[in-house]
Amino acid sequence: MGCLTWLFERFANEPSRNFMIWRDQPYTYAWLIERIREWETRLDAADVAPGTVVAIEGDYSPQVVALMLALIERGTILVPLTASVEVHKEEFKQIAEVQVVIAIDANEQSSISRRPTEVRNDLTRKLIASGDPGLVLFSSGSTGKSKAALHNFIGLLEKFKTPRHSMITLTFLLLDHIGGINTLLYVLSNTGCVVTVEDRDPDKVCAAIERHRVEVLPTSPTFLNLLLISEAYKRHDLSSLKRVTYGTEPMPEHTLQRIHEILPQAELLQTYGLSEIGIMRSKSRSSNSLWVKVGGEDFETRIQDGTLWIKARSAMLGYLNAPSPFDADGWFNTGDAVEVDGEYIRILGRTSEIINVGGQKVYPAEVESVLLQMPNVRDVAVTGEPNPITGQIVVARFNLFEPEDIAQFRKRVRDFCRDRMAAFKIPARILIVENEQYSQRFKKMRRQPAATGGTNHESQ
């Protein structure tokens, strides 16, 4: 026992410091230590033994953090599930072979329930036998099926033993995301403070930054675009920000330049991480540069055919429901196309066809299968298209049986999709085409010279 002893000692040295601001209320490290002890008693009483696979249902809150730490210390296998994956929860529990579910609701009330499940997966069994705590994160697969990455938590914790700056950090990355876990561990290991916000509305985020003098903002290019469009930065004092980090999708150059202009005092840093390998330490060439050096003591990188490969000490043990993606020497193909300049790289985007809308992934096949259920739809092809606000948008090109007015049809598509998929998956651009879509690779047809327009009519 005691893989978190070093961390709890740091907490004990700073009892009066706040570890979290939640719903504008502060919670101290002394409070956290007490709650962790309480959870230990409760977990004993509920017979949650080391090696149990435990799902935590709940979003960022002081109790969820206390529970997570108690479960890591106990040597269980954690499966964080937030409201954002609601529709997949049952599927995820089955894949991870969850045995105990601990749900914490919006009022911090908790309940513990058991599922009659025996762990059969070899990777999980090996981890349990070692006695180390584990973490299961769900990541994107190219076919639309989520892949479950199993980590040994000890490997993820290692890099946080080196003390770094203690900062007030705002977060809206969730705890079932490698970035959310990374931010939390960084802050706690340096007895800093996490400021949480209830949604990503730019004005609410900026108000929280001003009120709590937030120093670090880990975010995404899409949020930064929305910050510019909303002009929320003009209504709030953001001078406390010392560092803004961004990841999860490629950053548009013009967004970076504008953010640098409005936040001249802040260092702008790109981060790079994947559920499979953890988050690497990275260093941008400068605040207005998209060139970045990635790596750190525990990572090796190489470029092969323009694609980034990584070998990491904090890499996952493997997928629970897919073949190992590592080659014989332990290298992982990130699928990210990059440009190289000396020791710096620039990330160009995914080599696969996954569409990235504001950092959230959309699988064309999944959207197409819903759209094909619509009356009067004969065929449909879904692709991504660059967009300056959300990075990419979802485009759907339809073949219809009977002609329809495009404005009416657009409305019909959006009405049909509303209850059947998450808002970010609903096609933003809806086109009716007359040609067969066997190649599925029409990009921006309407920008083609008029001379070729005769063969491919796109009603818009």
Partner 1 sequence: MNRSDVMDLIVTTLQDLLASDPARAGLPIEEGTRLYGPEGLLDSLRLVSLVLDLEQEINDRMDTAITIADSRAMSQQRSPFRSVGSLADYIMRLLADEQQQAA
Instruction: List the one residue from 257, 324, 352, 376 that touches partner 1 (CB under 8 A).
Output: 257
Contact flag: residue 410 with partner 1 (CB under 8 A): yes
CB-based contact 135:176 (threshold 8 Å): no
Output the CA torsion 400→404→409→413 (10° steps): -20
Instruction: List the one residue from 387, 396, 397, 409 that touches partner 1 (CB under 8 A).
Output: 387
> Of the listed pieces 38-46, 128-136, 140-148, 387-395, which binds partner 1 according to CB under 8 A?
387-395
Q: What one-letter code names the amino acid at 172? A: F
Closest CB to partner 1 among 441 and 447?
447
Contact flag: residue 273 with partner 1 (CB under 8 A): no
Please give the structure tokens belonging to residue 249.
Answer: 């999708």
Site for partner 1 in 192-231 (CB under 8 A): 202-203, 222, 225-226, 228-231
Contact flag: residue 250 with partner 1 (CB under 8 A): no
Q: 3-state DSSP: the chain helix, strand, coil percent, rounded to 5?
A: 30, 30, 35
Contact flag: residue 434 with partner 1 (CB under 8 A): no
Contact flag: residue 447 with partner 1 (CB under 8 A): yes
Instruction: List the one residue from 211, 281, 346, 414 that touches partner 1 (CB under 8 A).
Output: 414
Q: How far apart are CA 25 and CA 148, in angstroms?
A: 34
CB of 421 to partner 1, least distance (A): 12
For residue 326, what is the DSSP state? B
CB of 228 to partner 1, least distance (A): 6
Q: How far apart are CA 25 and CA 85, in angstroms?
A: 27
CB of 328 to partner 1, least distance (A): 43
Please give the structure tokens belonging to residue 279.
Answer: 């988050």
Site for partner 1 in 94-113 (CB under 8 A): none
State phi, psi for 388 to the nearest 5 degrees: -70, -15
Q: How far apart are CA 48 and CA 359, in angstroms?
A: 35
Rg for the chain, CA atoms, rounded: 23
Please give the structure tokens belonging to residue 157.
Answer: 């914790």
Please give the structure tokens belonging to residue 29.
Answer: 């490290």
Contact flag: residue 252 with partner 1 (CB under 8 A): yes
CB of 366 to partner 1, least distance (A): 17
Instruction: List the one residue from 42, 145, 243, 258 that touches partner 1 (CB under 8 A).
Output: 258
∠ CA 450-414-361 to the nearest 5 degrees? 85
User: Residues interacting with partner 1, by CB under 8 A?
Assistant: 202-203, 222, 225-226, 228-232, 235, 252-255, 257-258, 357-358, 387-390, 393, 407, 410-411, 414-415, 418, 423-424, 426, 428-429, 446-447, 460
